[in-house]
Structure 1
Amino acid sequence: MMLYICLAFAVFGASTAQDIGSICHSNRLQHTEDQVIERIVQMMNTDFDSVISRKEVLVFFAELMGIQLGGLINLVNDMTNEQLLQAAAGVSIEKESFSHAWHARFHDNYDFVYATFDRFDISNDGLINALEIEAIVNSALAHGDKNHDGKLETEELVSFLESIYKNC
């Protein structure tokens, strides 16, 4: 169930870099912002249709956290957004677990990952829960959906991620 809560805070986390303060992106392996963004988008757009769905976000973060969906992937794909939220009710991910997983995969500096996490821990309880994730996804759509079609296309995701990674 942890996978439902990991959904997207780091990817859809900050609408602008000002939201995470003065913490700039840095990377242990010297990956540039563009390299990290490209990797995130490639990993997230699993059906190669140039549109990032909420379900693709779910699968992305499940894999990030080492959760193997296996046969459950079809169940997840058949769920509505409301069903996903209901399934995730009461489940949360704590700061250290997520930060370590994100750092291990993308090698971003912990200060950057922590600042992003803190921005979206709306309740300030050290956890990100399903309602906070939904608010993050909605924020990403509000700030990233440039053509206002209710979908986040890969180019829009890249632009949104650039606002997080490059503008500090």
Structure 2
Amino acid sequence: MIAFLVLIGSVAVYGQHHGQAHNHSCIFNNHHQLLSSQVVSNVIADIDKDGDGIVEPTEVQAEFVARYDVDKNGSITEDEFVKQWHQHYHDDRDFVGYLFHNFDVNDDLSLTDNDLVAWSKNLDTDGNGEISIAEFRTYMTNLYTNCVTAHGN
């Protein structure tokens, strides 16, 4: 029962947009015909570099700085994020904008260390101070599933 309540709470939290209204389609479409589960698995493989089953903030930060912060100013703009995610994972650009606004926890239109700290706390659903691959997979799957479900697909 507790697991079910946590899952329902996660769906409610993860499926929301924060603060500002953003005009992004929440309909998942992948230009290489990858399923959302395949994209999520690829994201996990890219982030969990040491393969220990824990998504560490340093791993997430390293991935984002290396791949997404193109101008290396410590802040990832929506344009940087959308371009890089689309090139690497092949999700539709409009859908990637939807992802960006879910990752932008403080809704300041950039991804920074502040978002990473808040995001990490939200994903640690069992409260053990770590984000397991299962917790991360649930979060990402909810973003993809809630999006598609919200539009009847």
Deviations along 1:46-89, whole A, 9 cap, x unmatched? 1111111111112222332387xxxxxxxxxxxxxxxxxxxx9x
- TM-score, length basis structure 2: 0.70
Q: 2:135 aligns with which of 156, 161, 165?
A: 156
Q: Which residue of 2 aligns with 1:19?
A: 17
Residue 43 of structure 1 and its aligned partner are, at CA, apart by 1.4
1: CA distance between counterparts of 2:69 and 2:16?
Answer: 31
Residue pairs, 1:128-139, within 5 angstroms: 128-139=111-122
Written as runs of structure 1 = structure 2, the 5 A alignment for 1:17-166 is 17-19=15-17, 23-65=26-68, 91-119=74-102, 120=104, 122-124=106-108, 126-141=109-124, 145=125, 147-166=126-145
Q: How many residues align?
A: 129
Unpaired stretches in structure 1, ≥5 consecutive residues = 1-13, 68-87
- TM-score, structure 1 length as denominator? 0.65
Secondary structure of the equivalent of 2:111? strand
Cα RMSD for the two superposed structures? 2.8
Task: State the SS of the aligned residue for 1:98.
Answer: helix
Gap regions ≥5 residues in structure 2: 1-11, 19-23, 148-153
CA distance in 1, matches of 2:111, 2:135: 24
Structure with higher RCO (Cα < 8 A, 6+ apart): 1
Q: Counterpart of 2:54 in structure 1: which amino acid?
A: V
CA 1:65–1:128 in structure 2 vs 1: closer, same or farther (change >3 Å)? closer
Residues 60/96 of structure 1: CA separation in 2 closer, same or farther (3 Å cut): same
Closer, same or farther: CA 63–155 of 1 in aligned 2, 3 Å: same
**Counterpart Cα distance in 2 of 1:46 and 1:135:** 22
Which letter maps to 1:101? Answer: Q
